[in-house]
Structure 1
Amino acid sequence: MTDPLRPTIPTDEQLVAYLDDQLDTEQRSHIDAALHDDPALSLRLQWLARSNLPFKDAYEELGKQAPTDRLQAMLDTLPSPARPALNRRWFLAAAAGLVVSSVVADRLFLGWQLSQKKSNWRGLVADYMSLYVPQTLEHLPGDEATQRAQLRTIDSRLGLNLAPAKLALPRLELKRAQILEYEGVPIAQITYLDPTHGPMALCVTRSNKGSRPFAHERRHDMNVVFWADTEHAWMLIGHNPVADLEDMAKVLRSRLSV
């Protein structure tokens, strides 16, 4: 039974409308109160605010799969103007209605990214890493026994043979190795703490696209160096200068390809 005195948790669509300043004063006050009382909701709002997902591209891709005749008939029944302006709030509502009403917005967007453009696994990692600060990692255990246990989990999921000695980098402290997963696709994240530049991560997932040389990009104001071997795609991401990241990537690639 629902407690009538307990405030309802804002949906992703409401949070996006909040970010887009499309709520009235009462609605904003309700979300302000919820954010004040719920740290997890505040983190969710921060993720939505920082998210750099291709809303227009995703909408166009979904549009190709949509039952256009039926949708047009539905739009014709709406008062003028029939179609609202294409903004994030409209896309969230339209996409949820076109695909399945129970799918939340982040699952739709991230799922589309991962299934439609495999290279965008780096975008998922960058979205996650953008929330990291040094305090996220400072108090994690750093003993070798813990690291080896964490690396065994990665090895079993991704067919690797990792060890702390192979992953050691000058000046950086290895803090954690863990498996993330989205839509059944495992992504390993090996996180370091750089005393100058803060959190940095080596990430890897399976890939069948063959070996590829080093390439660079920027995501969420972080530098990314990425490459691939015959079975895996790799990336280093952090606030370190790109030249430093590439030097570290060369060291890691030489060790991990053996």
Structure 2
Amino acid sequence: MIDRPRPTPPTDEQWVAYLDDQLDTAQRSGIDAAVSEDPNLNLRLQWLARSSLPFKDAYDELGQQAPLDRLQGMLDTLPDPARPAFGRRWFLAAAAGLVVSGVLADRLFLGWQLSQQKTNWRALVADYMSLYVPQTLAHLPGDESAQRAQLRLIDARLGLNLLPAQLVLKGAEFKRAQILEYDGVPIAQITYLDAAHGPMALCVTRSNSGSRAVAVEHRHGMNVVYWADMEHAWMLIGRNPVADLQDMANVLRTRLSA
């Protein structure tokens, strides 16, 4: 069997041109092929495509908070020499714009930074899982020897000791375990095919934020149940009802802490 060479990852400039639809057909096809063959590239593309911030809404909201009355009062105290009719209005708008820009920059940066720290890895996984359909997993073999080999790779990167028996979930077939990576941070993904609700995944990454009880959120039409122990953060994601995912999460927590 001859291994095909892995496709060369696109450069940052090529990613930008791809997302802006500035590449010719051949270049775009090359990136499409690379993304289809490499889960890490697929994950990076989804993150880049969804990483824009709502600048217009933020400007609209903060523009309403600008101290226009105070600025107008400052203008009223100035001499009123002959000057163009637009001068007063222009100064008011410019001054308000400077105030808004400064406040906006601080708020957007702090808000973005906080969201990155708290939810970034779960957002990345949800972006990736939103592309899955049953056919994505249906053809994968489910033999235990392959599962053990895949779990050993996860153990080596994340300091775990996972066994297939610990990961059995009622109504869901264990299909694959793999390591993804974003900006040098490894994320393990253990995928299942649920007979009723389609693709589902248990994902884990390293965490030093301490133990955290089970919590729930909703992303891209999927339910997410997440928790943390002293060394790792975990999440279970799928289109299953929240109550079902919570029951599965409780089973997994008990087994993995034993």
Q: State how far apart, in whole Å, the 2-side matches of 1:38 and 1:51 are.
A: 14
Cα 1:150–1:172, aligned 2, differ >3 Å: closer, same or farther? Answer: same
Q: Which residue of 2 aligns with 1:53?
A: 51
Q: Which residue of 1 aligns with 2:16?
A: 13
Q: Which residue of 1 aligns with 2:229?
A: 229
User: Tell me, what secondary structure is at the counterpart of 1:230?
Assistant: coil
Larger Rg: 2
Q: State how far apart, in whole Å, the 2-side matches of 1:179 and 1:41 are.
A: 18
Q: Which residue of 2 aligns with 1:152?
A: 152
Structure 1 residues without counterparts, runs of 5 or longer: 1-8, 19-26, 61-111
Cα 1:15–1:45, aligned 2, differ >3 Å: closer, same or farther? Answer: farther
Cα 1:51–1:257, aligned 2, differ >3 Å: closer, same or farther? Answer: farther
Cα 1:250–1:54, aligned 2, differ >3 Å: closer, same or farther? Answer: farther
User: Tell me, what secondary structure is at the counterpart of 1:124?
Assistant: helix
Q: State how far apart, in whole Å, the 2-side matches of 1:45 and 1:147 are.
A: 23
Structure 1 residue runs of 4 or more that deviate by more than 3 Å after TM superposition: 9-18, 33-39, 41-52, 112-116
The share of aligned pairs that are identical, in percent, is 64
Letter in 2 for 1:212: R
User: Tell me, what secondary structure is at the counterpart of 2:20?
Assistant: helix
Q: Which residue of 2 aligns with 1:121?
A: 121
Q: Is the 8 A contact 1:113 1:120 kept in 2?
A: no
Cα 1:42–1:202, aligned 2, differ >3 Å: closer, same or farther? Answer: closer
Question: Which whole-Å deviations, capped at 9, do the CAs of 1:187-230 have from their partners, x for residues lacking one?
Answer: 11000001111110000011001000111111111111100011
Q: Aligned pair count? A: 187
Structure 2 residues without counterparts, runs of 5 or longer: 1-10, 59-111
The CA deviation at 1:55 is 2.6
Q: TM-score, normalised by structure 1?
A: 0.62
Cα 1:119–1:14, aligned 2, differ >3 Å: closer, same or farther? Answer: same
Q: Which residue of 2 aligns with 1:201?
A: 201
Q: Which residue of 1 aligns with 2:166?
A: 166
CA RMSD of aligned residues (A): 3.3
Q: Is the 8 A contact 1:187 1:204 kept in 2?
A: yes
The CA deviation at 1:243 is 1.2
Cα 1:138–1:114, aligned 2, differ >3 Å: closer, same or farther? Answer: farther
Q: Is the 8 A contact 1:35 1:41 kept in 2?
A: no
Q: State how far apart, in whole Å, the 2-side matches of 1:151 and 1:227 are.
A: 20
Q: Which residue of 1 aligns with 2:256?
A: 256
The CA deviation at 1:173 is 0.4
Q: State how far apart, in whole Å, the 1-side matches of 2:129 and 2:180 are.
A: 12
Q: TM-score, normalised by structure 2?
A: 0.62
Cα 1:37–1:121, aligned 2, differ >3 Å: closer, same or farther? Answer: closer
1:216 equivalent in alignment to 2:221:
no
Letter in 1 for 2:15: D
Letter in 2 for 1:215: A
